[in-house]
Structure 1
Amino acid sequence: MSLAVVYSRASVGIDAPLVTIEVHLANGLPAFNLVGLAAAAVRESKERVRSALINSGFEFPAKRITVNLAPADLPKEGGRFDLAIAIGIIAACGLLPDTDLSQYEMVGELALTGQIRTVCGALPFNYACTNAKRIALLPLQNADEALLVNNSQVFGVTSLSDLYLHLSGRKRLTPSEHKRVECQHDYQADMADIKGQQLAKRALEISAAGMHNILFCGPPGTGKTMLAKRLMTLLPPMDQQQALQTATIRSVAGQPIDLTKWTQRPFRQPHHTASSIALVGGGSNPKPGEISLAHHGVLFLDELPEFERHVLDVLREPMEAGKISISRAAKHVCFPAQFQLVAAMNPSPTGALHDGRSTSEQVLRYINRISTPFLDRIDLQVDVPKLSSKELFAGNDDQQESSKQIRIRVLGAHQQQYQRANKSNAQLNTQELDTYCVLSSADQRFMQTSMEQLGLSMRSYHRTIKVARTIADLASCQHIQRKHLSEALSYRALDNIIQQLK
């Protein structure tokens, strides 16, 4: 009897749990049995491994082969275990007598020729492998992605025969090296490109400073999409941990990672025909959706009322929790989803509010496509009016601020927030609001009256206080003042439209 043990890792959400692959060769009628809650793609690895071994110059053992993928209750999917199974069979045949396989973890799908194909989730695989203090063996095409993990040992492998020669000591592979790539944060767009719309620009600055959700409401062609896309130019860069989390999600989703831009915040813009699963993630084998791909970045929803109402409502919980939990019969996964929502919409089904083509009932029906609980989670509702002909045809204004100039103020506000609470204002909980957003008695009465007049919910009230705290930070004020509260309350454009129409 011969037994070999090889280590690999599964892919569950953004985690990579350890899978121990035990290969046992015994006398008896030739057979190849694979056990351990393997999905169809894993069971099919028997034929891929058989052909890869033969075409790589190995003799396939005419014995009873049993491969156990432990733990047995962990679902295994995909072809990522092919390489480990093949090496386990080689080791069980006694072809690697002097090799300590316990120091390695390997992942890779085998072609029938013995070549090694890429897999999804190489980044979380190497992160877990590094924490376990083992050496990662994975496809060469995945090496650069895996090396985003600091202090990791990675060998990029192209074929099964090359890996065998390396493990047997006959021909060592060269360790993959960490590439020092200068990350680029050059944006083609700039705030100075937008004419007029000073109120909307101010609101966008507040949104960037406090990481607040924002909604632009105005007729077609007023610059709502331009404003939304320029939010990226105002946000501070991600730190190393945030960038690694974002890259991990892309890795699990099977999307390429550009090493020159991997520290740049993501910007996702799904079409209004997107399904709820496309937005939040899911499927029989749960994959991250748009909200997770926008983690630490921006999710832009254009033409907001055109989205199905139930599709928007599935965003409510992740907007509060910063994560999405997906439960299936066989597994439960959790993806991070701490995104900043930017939305744009027309105020009426015909485009403009007072164009004479829509009645008040039609406008209200159009706005009511968006549920009130969803709107409650948007901090800033900004009116983007149509520009006058004078503003539209005006020449370049030397006083137009660039994104770089505004970003300096945004970074200053961010520093104040993290020094005070170690988080952005949009993420403050109720207890932290009571600590860092104290109002005077007169201001409390002012806010109480405003809530009654505007019909604000308690959630909207708390979000208004957070916006006022951000406005105070931009002005370098230690305490929230009445003018900050008044400005925060002025960014309730949709509430004002509804009040006028009722």
Structure 2
Amino acid sequence: MVSKVLTVSFCGIEPQIIEVQAQISSGLVAFNIVGLANKAIAESKERIRAAFSTIGLAFPNKRITINLAPADITKEGSHFDLAIAVALLTEMEIVPQEEVDSMMVMGELSLDASVIKVNGILPAAIKASEEKLGLICPKENGPEASWSGNDLILLAAKLIDVISHFKGSKAMEKAELPQNAPERKPLPDLADVIGQEESKRALEVAAAGRHHMLMIGPPGSGKSTLAKRLIGISPQLSSKEKLELSIISSLAGEMREGFLVNERPFRTPHSSASLASMMGGGRNAKPGEITMAHLGILFMDELPEFPRFIIDAMRQPIEDKVITISRVHNHITYPADFQLIAAMNPCKCGYYGFSDNTCNKMPRCATDYQGKISGPIYDRFDIQIFIQDTASLISKSDFAQSSEPSAIVLQRVEEASEIQAKRYQDVGISKNSQLDGENIRKFIKLDYDAEKILKEMVVKFSLSMRGMNKLLKVSKTIADLDKSQAVNKFHISEAASYKSSKVLKF
């Protein structure tokens, strides 16, 4: 006889059903796990053996074979423990096979037979619901699993709970939605930023259209301060986006107290980050920073300090919104629809073109530093702005004026976002930055003066086709903020002020 229990394995963010097959036969005493199991799964036999001993259950001294089917797919993770244990209990005729046929099982076992919390419960529960199956999972994962809408999610605190449930002596608890959501921390407010009105306007445009933005300025001019306030003026997440982000957080083990993610992520990788940590990959092909920033913001401070191969590797995910990790046996695809916000100094010293505090190596100091970023990368930033230094701010009359709070800016951004969502509802996009191909010509209409200025900008800045299209998309966002259907000369001129083929002229 062979017992069978269903569980899942993850390929990217998509769970795949795995059948755990258990057989106990006569022969030399052994416990073998086959089916391309990784080290964590291979070690599960010791955890299962100890858990059986803890609950007073004699472990069979026979030949035990566990097969994870399909056998040609690599499996990894400690969440297979409980499924293997239940398969053995079924093979030992302690748990009825017909009772577990309609269930999926996930959980890690402790040596004291406790069922420990694991990652990926939310997508697994959604998959179980799609397949019309129930789910047995750790009790700590219950609040997270409840968001799937599956009515048959059973919670196990210990291995004995599973046995008692199927024996009919004590039913396991069912998952319930969590109560008392954690208090949201206040977001940094634009009102804290004094002056910098041009930069804050560019930030508003970037938020309204989800445009990629590059900020150039001397040290301490407020580049990081502005970037951190972008979340506070970004549109609220839709229900679909919250679930999508929560699935990624579940796989990464970052869901807070079982509640869905309700804020856009803001990721700030250090310049020493490896390629695998940024793009995803490594031994277990885990999601990287660009996936963790999905539907949110990826802030790369001191952009030229990142290795050049990492900067250039950003080209494909910026355009395609996904990242594919290639392996010998399969290809793993993670979502990567992020908004890239980058900051950099004009040169290694930091003050070239902004102050007299420059070194005696100019302009070579600036050309070498800016040369670390290729033209195609510059071309992918819809908005490029120069942040004023402190001396320039003090000389302006508006330095002492109170600044507009994020709440007011957010209202304008959300109104512009609603205009875009309504306009593009039939083409499957929601933001101006997502326009491509014929849709650019279809939805962006320029008046005579605007078209004339566009032609001048293309010649003046030697814009590529991508650069011209990005200029059009930014101008459309400015028109939406202005609640104008057509793009006029003021919209295209403002968009052009955010675009330059070179960061600084030497």
Normalising by structure 1, we get a TM-score of 0.94
Task: Specify the alignment match of 2:465 in structure 1.
Answer: 458
Task: Specify the alignment match of 1:268 in structure 2.
Answer: 267
Gaps of at least 5 residues in structure 1 are: none
Give yes or no for the alignment of 1:420 onto 2:418: no
Mapping of 1:158-173 within 5 angstroms?
A: 158-173=157-172
- Aligned with residue 434 of structure 1, among 441, 444, 447: 441
How big is the shift at 1:187? 2.5
Task: Specify the alignment match of 2:278 in structure 1.
Answer: 279
Task: Specify the alignment match of 1:397 in structure 2.
Answer: 401
How big is the shift at 1:147? 2.1
Cα 1:328–1:447, aligned 2, differ >3 Å: closer, same or farther?
same
Indicate if the aligned counterparts of 2:134 and 2:150 stay in contact, CA closer than 8 A: no
Task: Specify the alignment match of 2:14 in structure 1.
Answer: 15
CA distance in 2, matches of 1:313, 1:174: 51
Farther off after superposition, 22-31 or 269-278: 22-31
Task: Specify the alignment match of 2:128 in structure 1.
Answer: 129
What amino acid is aligned across from residue 412 of structure 2 in structure 1? R
Task: Specify the alignment match of 2:70 in structure 1.
Answer: 71
Cα 1:47–1:151, aligned 2, differ >3 Å: closer, same or farther?
closer
Question: CA offsets per residue over residues 347-400 of structure 1, 9 Å max, x none?
Answer: 1221112334241232112111111111111100011111347469988634x2
How big is the shift at 1:157? 1.2
Task: Specify the alignment match of 1:386 in structure 2.
Answer: 389
Question: CA offsets per residue over residues 121-146 of structure 1, 9 Å max, x none?
Answer: 11211111111121111112222222
Task: Specify the alignment match of 2:476 in structure 1.
Answer: 469
SS class of match (1:342): strand
CA distance in 1, matches of 2:418, 2:145: 31
Task: Specify the alignment match of 1:3 in structure 2.
Answer: 2
Give yes or no for the alignment of 1:373 onto 2:376: yes
- Aligned with residue 409 of structure 2, among 397, 406, 410: 406
Farther off after superposition, 383-392 or 317-326: 383-392
How big is the shift at 1:468? 0.2
How big is the shift at 1:462? 0.6
Task: Specify the alignment match of 2:43 in structure 1.
Answer: 44
CA distance in 2, matches of 1:165, 1:460: 65
Cα 1:239–1:181, aligned 2, differ >3 Å: closer, same or farther?
farther
Cα 1:261–1:59, aligned 2, differ >3 Å: closer, same or farther?
closer
What amino acid is aligned across from residue 272 of structure 1 in structure 2? S
Question: CA offsets per residue over residues 281-313 of structure 1, 9 Å max, x none?
Answer: 111210011110000101111111111111111
Indicate if the aligned counterparts of 1:468 and 1:484 stay in contact, CA closer than 8 A: yes
Indicate if the aligned counterparts of 1:4 and 1:24 stay in contact, CA closer than 8 A: yes
SS class of match (1:53): helix
Normalising by structure 2, we get a TM-score of 0.93
Cα 1:315–1:29, aligned 2, differ >3 Å: closer, same or farther?
same
Question: CA offsets per residue over residues 384-424 of structure 1, 9 Å max, x none?
Answer: 111347469988634x2110001111001000101011310
CA distance in 2, matches of 1:172, 1:132: 23
How big is the shift at 1:44? 2.1
SS class of match (2:291): helix
Task: Specify the alignment match of 1:146 in structure 2.
Answer: 145
Mapping of 1:274-313 within 5 angstroms?
A: 274-313=273-312
What amino acid is aligned across from residue 474 of structure 1 in structure 2? L
Task: Specify the alignment match of 2:495 in structure 1.
Answer: 488
Give yes or no for the alignment of 1:105 onto 2:104: yes
Q: How many residues in Structure 1 have an aligned counterpart in Structure 2?
A: 497
CA distance in 1, matches of 2:187, 2:456: 44
What amino acid is aligned across from residue 278 of structure 2 in structure 1? L
What amino acid is aligned across from residue 321 of structure 2 in structure 1? G
Indicate if the aligned counterparts of 2:242 and 2:261 stay in contact, CA closer than 8 A: yes
Indicate if the aligned counterparts of 1:184 and 1:260 stay in contact, CA closer than 8 A: no
Indicate if the aligned counterparts of 1:183 and 1:261 stay in contact, CA closer than 8 A: no
Farther off after superposition, 260-269 or 146-155: 146-155
CA distance in 1, matches of 2:96, 2:150: 29
CA distance in 2, matches of 1:184, 1:235: 19
Indicate if the aligned counterparts of 1:425 and 1:469 stay in contact, CA closer than 8 A: yes
Farther off after superposition, 117-126 or 143-152: 143-152
What amino acid is aligned across from residue 397 of structure 1 in structure 2? Q
How big is the shift at 1:11? 1.8
CA distance in 1, matches of 2:400, 2:376: 42
Cα 1:151–1:109, aligned 2, differ >3 Å: closer, same or farther?
closer
CA distance in 2, matches of 1:307, 1:352: 20
What amino acid is aligned across from residue 117 of structure 1 in structure 2? I
SS class of match (1:17): strand
Question: CA offsets per residue over residues 295-350 of structure 1, 9 Å max, x none?
Answer: 01011111111111111111110000111000111332101010011111111221
Task: Specify the alignment match of 1:335 in structure 2.
Answer: 334
Indicate if the aligned counterparts of 2:143 and 2:259 stay in contact, CA closer than 8 A: no
- Aligned with residue 366 of structure 2, among 354, 363, 383: 363
SS class of match (1:100): helix
CA distance in 1, matches of 2:259, 2:113: 32
What amino acid is aligned across from residue 223 of structure 2 in structure 1? K
Cα 1:182–1:254, aligned 2, differ >3 Å: closer, same or farther?
closer
Indicate if the aligned counterparts of 2:90 and 2:97 stay in contact, CA closer than 8 A: no
Gaps of at least 5 residues in structure 2 are: none
Farther off after superposition, 42-51 or 238-247: 42-51
SS class of match (1:226): helix
Task: Specify the alignment match of 2:204 in structure 1.
Answer: 205
CA distance in 2, matches of 1:80, 1:372: 46
What amino acid is aligned across from residue 128 of structure 1 in structure 2? K
SS class of match (2:65): strand
Give yes or no for the alignment of 1:80 onto 2:84: no
Indicate if the aligned counterparts of 2:4 and 2:97 stay in contact, CA closer than 8 A: no
Cα 1:482–1:183, aligned 2, differ >3 Å: closer, same or farther?
farther
CA distance in 2, matches of 1:227, 1:359: 28
How big is the shift at 1:19? 0.6
CA distance in 2, matches of 1:484, 1:9: 51
